[in-house]
Amino acid sequence: MDNGGLASDYCALTRKRTDGAHETALKSLNNWRQGVHVPNRRNFRLLTLLLQIEDGDDILPHWHRLYEEAQRRKPSNEQGNDKNGDATDLQELAPRITVGASRRSRRWPIAAVIAVAIVLVGGMGIGLIGWQKPEPQVVVRKKPEAGEPVIDMTGERIYWRELSEVRVGESVVIHAKRGRCGEQPPSWEETFEYLPELATGIWSDGGVGFRISRSCGGATPARAVVFTATRPGEERFMLYEDQITIRVDE
């Protein structure tokens, strides 16, 4: 696999056009593949999008399991350091790049899009082999209709729910979208555009409460994202860099 080509796509996806951006991305990719460092969670999320691994239900669980194993094997002096040597910090870029890339396309079999072999390199790193450049996708979504909130979290603390088990007709707060530390979050229309399309339910606005953010040093305003179940099934996806599973029963 050509790290140079992947670095170019990495820069294009993150809109990095400054001098030295390609060399910086190439350095990070080399370090990850050689096992020198483990990608931080933001860059792991970026690689997941870049390789369209979310489109493969059979690949995604193994991808996350191996990454968590690599995180546990980090040296003690890197534990708790989410950057652990990465050359780029995608905290502000990650929310912007999820449009389109996070949609679960079924236009082609996954084998026709990518053939990914995942290994732990040197007991720590992640190798990405057999990658093919994904074709760009354009997703047009209907604007959400305004109305009374199903769940109103205005002024309340909002938690991320890794696993939600609900019945058809029930609603639950899944996560919350925040803006920059201390600033108001995006509007519901903007937040909705970045949410994945689900077969088991619909999204709605839960109002503006707050989240406790380590990077912000405490509470910061956030818009609650509410899921209402409409049909049985199970969904697994990433939202705001966190793994989400929703199970809907009759």
Locate the DSSP E strands across the chain: 117-121, 125-129, 163-167, 171-178, 201-213, 218-229, 233-239, 242-249
What's the rounded Cα separation, in Å, for the pair 69 and 36?
A: 15
Least trusted range by pLDDT, from 33-37, 118-122, 154-158, 191-195: 118-122
> Which segment, 63-72, 196-205, 237-246, is predicted with the most confidence on average?
196-205
Residue 152 DSSP label: -
DSSP letters, 71-135, are HHTS-GGGTT-SSTT-S---TTTGGGGGTTTTS---SS-HHHH---EEEEETTTEEEEES--PPP
Give the pLDDT score at 45: 84
Summarised one tens digit per residue, pLDDT across range 8-17 is: 888 888 777 7
* DSSP, res 51: T
Please report which confidence band the pLDDT of residue 169 belongs to, taking 50, 70 and 90 as the band edges: very high
Structure pTM?
Answer: 0.48
The structure tokens listed for 168 are 């058809």
Give the pLDDT confidence of 190-226 residue by residue, as tens digits.
999 889 999 999 999 999 999 998 888 999 999 999 9
Task: Determine the Cα angle at 195 with ends 190 and 197, to 5°.
Answer: 130
Q: How confident is the model at residue 76 (pLDDT cuts 50, 70, 90)?
A: low
Strand pairing partners for 120?
126
Contacts for 205 with CB less than 8 Å, ≥ 6 apart: 144, 149, 188, 191, 192, 223, 224, 225, 226
